Structure 1
Amino acid sequence: MSSSTARSQIPALPVKTVIAASLIACFSLPMQAQAQQELPAEGELQSVVVTGTFAKNRRTIDSESPIDILTSRDLQSTGSAELATVLARLLPSMNFPRPTGADGSDAVRPAQLRGLSPDQTLVLVNGKRRYTSAVVNVNGTLGRGSAPVDLNAIPLAAIDHVEVLRDGAAAQYGSDAIAGVINIILKKGAAGGDIEVGYGQTQERDGKQKSIKGSAGFALGDDGWVRVSAEVADRGPTNRAGRDFSNPLEPRYGQVNLRYGDAESKPATVFINSEYHLGDNLDWYAFGGYGQRDTSAGATWRAGLVKNEKGDYITRSSIFPQGFLPIQNSTLTDQSLVTGLRGEAAGWRWDASLNYGSNKFKLDLDNTVNFDLAAASPTHFYVGSLKNEQTVLNLDAAREFPVAYFTGPLTVAVGAEARHEKYTIGAGEKASYTGTGSQGFAGFRPENAGSHSRHNESIYVNLEAEATKKLSGGVALRHERYSDFGSTTSAKGSARYAFTDALSLRGTVSSGFRAPSLAQQYYTITTTNFQVINGTNTAIETGTFAVNTPQARALGAQDLKAEKARNYSLGLQFQPTRNFTTTVDAYRIDIDDRILFSSNLILSTTLKNILAAQGTPVGAGRYFTNAVDTRTEGVDIVSTYRIDLQDKDRLDLTVAYNHNKTSVQKVADNPAILTANNLKLIDRQTIQRATVGSPKDKFSLAADYSFGIWNAHGVVTRYGSFIVPQNNALQDQHYDPQWVLDVSGSVKLGKNWRLVAGIDNVTNRYPDQITSAGNLNNGGTQPYSGFAPNGFNGRYYYAKAGYSW
């Protein structure tokens, strides 16, 4: 597909050319690095890591698994203030599209690691498990059916650095750690602080963003400290909707009636991190945050006219005779607190902690009606709420033991964890669910409402050792028991062999799992969905049913099982000098019983009658199911090179590449009741969305040049091709690769001030437009796909001013 826009473009290069270029860069830079050896280096590129290991002073170069470390400087290098967006720009294996018109997914956008489901990545804060979002992605977005952690609820102002473990780690951390682990390390200490104000807007003069953020530390007497970080922002919406030419009789024919772009968002967040030394070998710590994010997004345009039984057009609503756009106003509230004690006794380092977190999603609708209430309908509705809560109790201990004939000690780590989860659905006001309900999002009904909970307990053991100067390795074993689906055991083995000081080989083999979330088991609602049927965007009353309800059972639902994973990785590390390093890691991830959200089942008359008899008169139904076995294969290449210049000037170069492919190994049998009614629980689109919807590769080349008080930063990224699938293969939307260039510059004024200005998407590149075949672009009003990895906002300008002390 070629772009139909006339905006500036960079020629697309073949994938083989990109791979060749990255490999040339990887193996030509060492020759340059050898020439630079005599120059003084300010420090090695390697850093001590805490993710995926219990050993002391483990560096990235010593790790048996690939780990990326993103510093605070890295996180500030883009124009975005959203953590997920920043990670997607810095990590070659992360994808963070910008869905629109997708209900709750407009407020909580899902991110993918290695092309897998967003909820197959575990998120930690200071090494402690972060709770997941209450919002379930039930519309046609990437990650459909997932309820992942909301990364954007964590402000950049609070983050010191981020460690990303690109490997399966369920044996070490438990459920969800299939694609990898993101560990967010908060700023700490009483010394210093910073404050920054920022402003930006797009080339189209929308999407205006204003922000203020800061962090400051304070001493707690002589033995402790507390650091407070806060961030407030006002992010205006963008709109790239096309004019509506669908019906010449419409009062607003030819006008832009839709909101199609980023939602309006107003986040406000505060985080604390603290520690107090209680005595010899005993410390108390606490960290957590409170945040609220108000989001306003447009639903689908409701036309002013509708055909009556005679085929004549009549006014649809006397309240909005020209048509209307329902506005979804949501409020997300996040609360978290982790507190604990850690110390050392009898040679054991121990840590005992209590961890609580919750996410609540509350939704109101404005500028809409309930058609069944006619002229008596209100135009504002409270449609209900979702809340997810998690409480975790951890006890961990680790100790080093000398072992004969080993060059290093054996690190033994043991631990236990108890976790309680609760998921609550709150009903909306009666007018929001009466009849067909409020347009834009029908309210949660009293029969949908309720609380559901479960608990699980786990124990683990982890062994790590350096057997010789060349060989190191580790094994981990974890057993968990869930109150709702039973027990599971995960194991992991890893090893690293250094052929020379510059060249080593590493690899891991592990098993893992992901427990079905409470949201996947119990989310239920009846609402109006739009589906293209025979070329027409048709409204259908659709029931989303929990798997244990009579409605879901009538459609063939079964209890959900845990996803089971097997991870394999093999990597090459090359570090000829302290200023240069290259890693190449190949991986394979097999997942059995992968949970997907079913296709929208357009019910037959027989099935409609069965559900109507149960008090659920709907035209379509859907539920979660263990749908497929998949295999994901890929390779990550990351190469970094630092050139130390005169007068402490420095040039940092990074080449990164990810290639990723997911294929289906097995599809679960179709329920007999659906087969008898000519329906497929898992249709082609559902399967293909999980395999081809994200870019199959991603390449980036970044340069950071510091000279005197100035700094220049630039990164060019190539997002690979992807497909937005349909049930009719002839209507699949194929998207060409897209090149995006981001640049920024900064200057230090004195010791404290710093000014930054930059442009994201310098060449104003837009993704290919959706074709009109099958009316998938809704008459041209929705020209771009929400699957586009870099969104479709175009060029973005920004400036920031910061003061630090």
Structure 2
Amino acid sequence: MKNTSILKLTTLSAAIIASSAVLPSVAFAEGAMVEEIVTTGTRAKARSATDTVAAVDVITSAELTNQGDMDVANLLRNSVPSFSVNDQPISDAATLVRPFQLRGMAPDHSLILVNNKRRHRANVIVWSAGGISDGSHGADVSTIPGMALKNVEVLRDGAAAMYGSDALAGVINFKLKDASEGGSVQLRMGQYAEGDGDMAYFAGNMGMELGANGFANVTLEYGSSDETVRSEQRNDAAGLIAAGFPVADPAQKWGRPFVDNDLKLFVNFGSQLTDSVELYGYANYASKDVDGGFYFRNPTNRGGVYAKDGNLLVGDTTGDMSGNCSQYAVDASDPTSSALAAAITGLKADDNCFNFNETIPGGFTPRFGGTVTDVTFMMGLKGELENGLSWDVSAYRGENEGDFYINNTVNASLGENTPRNFDPGLYRQTDVNFNADFKYSLSDTVSLAFGAEHRTEEFTIGAGQKESYIDGGLGVQGFSTSTNGFPGFSPDISGDFDRSNDAVYVDGEWDVSEDLLLAAAVRFEDFDGFGSTTNYRLGANYKIDENFGIRATLSTGFKAPTSGQLNASNISTLIDNGVLVNKGVIPATNPVAAFAGATELKPEESENFTVGFFGSVGEVDITFDYFNIDVTDRLTLSKDFSLTTADIASLAAAGVSGADDIAVFRFFTNDFETKTSGFDLVLSTSTDWMGGSTDWNLAVNHTTTEVTSRGEYIDDDRERSIEEVSPDTRYNISANHMMDGWRALARVSYFGDWYDPNQGMSYDGEHVVDVELSYDLNESSSVMIAGQNIFDEAGSKKHNGAAGAGNTYSEFAPMGFSGAFWYAKYSYNF
């Protein structure tokens, strides 16, 4: 019996995979047609997913926790084609908190809710993600454990008039489990097909009674995952090894980072205090250590450390410049040169002159990482008065911190006295929200909601250790100051930067008839620093007959610049035309930026339009929604500007760490306009066959972004990155078959063409196939074996990765570039 069942399920999986090859290039979101009651996108009352004026995808807890990955961002990518996220190797702090996109927009264009309440931003401002995310400051969804979720509601519509700033692309609402009894535990282990990236995680959820009329639902997740390496030895490193330099193989690692001590704890609670008053809230604590690699520093040509103007960089350590060190400043371009070898030998014997080949002869590759900590507490009271007025008051405080480190590097200006490991400082984001919300039914068909919000955001830059930002004495001789790769934050640029805003809103829904729903919302918001904004949203849902209906929305929106975007400074070491270049980001209010043309930042503004239909054809449920999002005064990082000697002196006087080493600088600017448009198509059905039932799902997303206007601070490369880094087309097709305690799933995901700005080339789209096979051991426990990306797709290989930075595959591959991942899971329910 078991062998027969396995054979049937294997045959079914193969048939699904084979059939997917003839499907058109379209995409869809698994489970999106689940007919559940949703609360996202409506304040008047909960409605079914097809009764709302805009599309809402509902992703179940089981769909999320059955996957191999533990990062919620990756789980959503597999379920919602309009949601995308990729690996972020060598991306500074974006490696710790990866940026995501919804419907081709930046991370901070999507509002994140937990239990219908706005969640705080992450500490990370994305400096170098290479596309639409550059300069964004969004939330960190990876701190939310999948097992804590009852479901996830994804509103694919602009909703700033309902929820405030950021909701231009849509809203993702994470709904926490609220059971007062029972629970489950899971043990998950996996490894990539190449034998690395080992993962082991434990997760548990338990519901408990809280007093006589309440509940506390607790989720704990803990684990770790090793790095993956998809590199080939760089040509320059191979040449150094041949010349006798002690260089590691590979000199530079590309892949997923180490994630250690990954702890996530969530507690959702509620209690009925009286017949008409309920206490509710949630709290969470999350922390993890993340460690990844940076670019290799070549011991013959890394400027500011080993070389200057093509020659060895040699420092005179006598104090009075009497060391006659110029004799060692030979041509360093040829590592096999006998003159270079002789100079290095001479330096080792000369106490008056110094070059880093004396202490670090094989070059070095910095390791960058940090500890990300996330803490939240939200509590509220809600109830209903005798006249039918419902009320809800709540307070929220959320904090996300990144405490960084950079190891295996130098502050070159300290010479041989430099430490190798540094604490460069921290970023911290803290949000405090107070809300008062009310609802009242004017009649059986007219519902009114209104309320007010006060919100404060604070961005903190914490200073690093002294050695991470000072000039140790050799700076005047051409040695780089501050930590190489990620300069520490000096006390001059550190501090707390906050901003507050107040808002009031009115939101109404009118059930004109059993077939027609009309909705409208208006919100007024006033910000410290740049004034007020008023936004609206109109929507309608009309059921043509019992099988079909249409819906549409029209709205305006806005995204206010964050305190971090207004105040943060940063230096990143990036590849520019094959050469490592230190690029600085300075506030738009800095005099150097102002001289280059920077002006005070202002909010982005949007106009959103959606129209679509929903219905059934036989046993197949269908939804189709078109969207168009026009954004003006779009916020981004400017093109690069060269620094003059006077500019460098001005930045140094302002306390910008490593100012002497910055080749070019950038700043935030409202300098372009975009049109993002596309459609989402979702089909789902179920069939009874092969001794069981199969749920079939197809979800297609097609999104294009066009820069419709730009100013002088956006160049052609930046425009192409905005338009082409993310794939235009995504789709998922899946079949989930259940039979006699067995469950088998096969899912095919398509990721369309993408552009790699670091290489200046485009890559063809890829299909990725996932499979799962689970068996119920008894009523309480089950086992599952599964594979993600089982055919080991990692994107087309670069033409010659060894000639550049040694990455075998494009770092911007939208499905990741580590290849096939195999895992097993044991579950026990109680």
- TM-score of the superposed pair, with normalisation by structure 1: 0.89
Question: Equivalent residue for 1:754?
Answer: 782
Identity %: 31
Could you tell me how far 1:604 is from its partner in structure 2?
5.0
Distance 2:781 2:576 in 1: 54
Kept in 2: contact 1:771–1:777 (CA 8 A): no
Instruction: Look up the equivalent residue of 2:447 and give its one-letter code.
Output: T
1:478 matched to 2:518: no
- The structure number with the bigger radius of gyration is 2
Given candidates 556, 572, 583, the residue that maps to 2:613 is 572
Kept in 2: contact 1:566–1:589 (CA 8 A): yes
Distance 1:416 1:448 in 2: 35
Find the residue that maps to 2:401 and give its secondary structure: strand
1:284 matched to 2:279: yes
Distance 1:292 1:510 in 2: 38
> Closer, same or farther in 2 for the Cα pair 1:624/1:20, shift >3 Å?
closer
Instruction: Look up the equivalent residue of 1:574 and give its one-letter code.
Output: G
Q: CA deviation digits over 1:776-795, x for unaligned, max 9? A: 87625122222211110111
Find the residue that maps to 1:279 and give its secondary structure: coil
Question: Equivalent residue for 2:731?
Answer: 699
Given candidates 770, 782, 787, the residue that maps to 1:742 is 770
> Closer, same or farther in 2 for the Cα pair 1:552/1:133, shift >3 Å?
same
Instruction: Look up the equivalent residue of 2:666 and give its one-letter code.
Output: R
> Closer, same or farther in 2 for the Cα pair 1:193/1:611, shift >3 Å?
closer
Question: Equivalent residue for 2:116?
Answer: 127
What are the equivalent positions in structure 2 for 1:98-177 lying under 5 Å apart?
98-142=87-131, 143-177=133-167
Find the residue that maps to 1:431 and give its secondary structure: helix
1:790 matched to 2:822: no
Kept in 1: contact 2:27–2:729 (CA 8 A): no
What are the equivalent positions in structure 2 for 1:379-418 lying under 5 Å apart?
379-402=420-443, 409-418=445-454
> Closer, same or farther in 2 for the Cα pair 1:613/1:110, shift >3 Å?
closer
Q: CA deviation digits over 1:310-343, x for unaligned, max 9? A: 3134563433221222111300110001100011
Instruction: Look up the equivalent residue of 2:761 and give its one-letter code.
Output: Q
Question: Equivalent residue for 2:347?
Answer: none
Could you tell me how far 1:364 is from its partner in structure 2?
1.3
Distance 2:505 2:654 in 1: 46
Kept in 1: contact 2:234–2:802 (CA 8 A): no
What are the equivalent positions in structure 2 for 1:159-308 lying under 5 Å apart?
159-246=149-236, 248-250=239-241, 251-252=245-246, 255-266=249-260, 267-306=262-301, 307-308=311-312
Distance 2:647 2:414 in 1: 27
Distance 1:121 1:466 in 2: 29
Distance 1:211 1:99 in 2: 22
Find the residue that maps to 1:204 and give its secondary structure: coil
Distance 1:252 1:719 in 2: 41
Kept in 1: contact 2:695–2:735 (CA 8 A): yes
Between the two proteins, the alignment pairs up a number of residues equal to: 747
Kept in 1: contact 2:25–2:731 (CA 8 A): no
Kept in 2: contact 1:761–1:795 (CA 8 A): yes
Given candidates 49, 54, 58, the residue that maps to 1:65 is 54
Kept in 2: contact 1:495–1:508 (CA 8 A): yes
Kept in 1: contact 2:356–2:415 (CA 8 A): no
Question: Equivalent residue for 2:681?
Answer: 637
> Closer, same or farther in 2 for the Cα pair 1:777/1:487, shift >3 Å?
farther
Given candidates 45, 63, 77, the residue that maps to 1:88 is 77
Kept in 2: contact 1:317–1:375 (CA 8 A): no
Find the residue that maps to 1:246 and give its secondary structure: helix
The worse-fitting range, judged by mean Cα deviation, of 212-221 and 364-373 is 364-373
Instruction: Look up the equivalent residue of 1:249 and give its one-letter code.
Output: L
Instruction: Look up the equivalent residue of 2:574 and give its one-letter code.
Output: F
Q: CA deviation digits over 1:381-429, x for unaligned, max 9? A: 1100000000000011112222xxxxx5111000110001111101111
Q: CA deviation digits over 1:661-706, x for unaligned, max 9? A: 11111112x3xxxxxxxxxx32222222211110010121111001
Kept in 1: contact 2:635–2:669 (CA 8 A): yes
Distance 1:144 1:287 in 2: 32
Distance 1:608 1:442 in 2: 15
Question: Equivalent residue for 2:798?
Answer: 770
Kept in 2: contact 1:698–1:717 (CA 8 A): yes
Instruction: Look up the equivalent residue of 1:107 and give its one-letter code.
Output: L
The worse-fitting range, judged by mean Cα deviation, of 132-141 and 223-232 is 132-141
Distance 2:46 2:459 in 1: 39
Instruction: Look up the equivalent residue of 1:755 and give its one-letter code.
Output: V
Kept in 1: contact 2:92–2:572 (CA 8 A): no
Kept in 1: contact 2:383–2:390 (CA 8 A): yes
Question: Equivalent residue for 1:6?
Answer: none
What are the equivalent positions in structure 2 for 1:315-326 lying under 5 Å apart?
316-326=356-366
Given candidates 421, 442, 445, the residue that maps to 2:487 is 442
Q: CA deviation digits over 1:330-362, x for unaligned, max 9? A: 001100011000111120121110011000110
Find the residue that maps to 2:108 and give its secondary structure: helix
Distance 1:47 1:311 in 2: 71
Given candidates 621, 626, 634, the residue that maps to 1:586 is 626
Q: CA deviation digits over 1:110-157, x for unaligned, max 9? A: 110011111100000000000011111101433111111111011112
Q: CA deviation digits over 1:477-522, x for unaligned, max 9? A: 0000001211001100001111111011110000000011111111
Question: Equivalent residue for 1:4?
Answer: none
Kept in 2: contact 1:418–1:458 (CA 8 A): yes
Question: Equivalent residue for 1:650?
Answer: 693
Q: CA deviation digits over 1:459-493, x for unaligned, max 9? A: 00111121012211100000000012110011000
The worse-fitting range, judged by mean Cα deviation, of 705-714 and 44-53 is 44-53
Q: CA deviation digits over 1:144-197, x for unaligned, max 9? A: 111111110111121110000000000000000000000000011211101111
> Closer, same or farther in 2 for the Cα pair 1:281/1:595, shift >3 Å?
same
Instruction: Look up the equivalent residue of 2:87 and give its one-letter code.
Output: R
Instruction: Look up the equivalent residue of 1:657 and give its one-letter code.
Output: V
Distance 1:606 1:384 in 2: 27
Distance 2:38 2:774 in 1: 29
The gaps in structure 2 that reach 5 residues or longer are 1-14, 302-310, 313-328, 333-339, 345-354, 472-480
- RMSD value, Cα: 2.4
Could you tell me how far 1:751 is from its partner in structure 2?
1.2
Kept in 1: contact 2:158–2:555 (CA 8 A): yes
Instruction: Look up the equivalent residue of 2:724 and give its one-letter code.
Output: V
> Closer, same or farther in 2 for the Cα pair 1:613/1:349, shift >3 Å?
closer
Could you tell me how far 1:373 is from its partner in structure 2?
1.0
Question: Equivalent residue for 2:476?
Answer: none
Question: Equivalent residue for 1:3?
Answer: none
Kept in 1: contact 2:193–2:822 (CA 8 A): yes
Given candidates 331, 342, 346, the residue that maps to 1:311 is 331
Q: CA deviation digits over 1:574-629, x for unaligned, max 9? A: 1246x531101011000001101122323356755665676743321111111210
Distance 2:140 2:250 in 1: 31
Kept in 1: contact 2:774–2:785 (CA 8 A): yes
The gaps in structure 1 that reach 5 residues or longer are 1-9, 27-43, 403-407, 671-680
- TM-score of the superposed pair, with normalisation by structure 2: 0.87
Distance 1:263 1:613 in 2: 36
Given candidates 720, 731, 736, the residue that maps to 1:688 is 720
What are the equivalent positions in structure 2 for 1:491-502 lying under 5 Å apart?
491-502=536-547
Distance 1:547 1:66 in 2: 38
Could you tell me how far 1:253 is from its partner in structure 2?
5.8
> Closer, same or farther in 2 for the Cα pair 1:262/1:116, shift >3 Å?
same
Distance 1:134 1:319 in 2: 36
Find the residue that maps to 1:61 and give its secondary structure: coil
Kept in 2: contact 1:363–1:383 (CA 8 A): yes
Distance 1:426 1:585 in 2: 45
Given candidates 405, 412, 420, the residue that maps to 1:371 is 412
The worse-fitting range, judged by mean Cα deviation, of 216-225 and 181-190 is 216-225
Find the residue that maps to 1:242 and give its secondary structure: coil
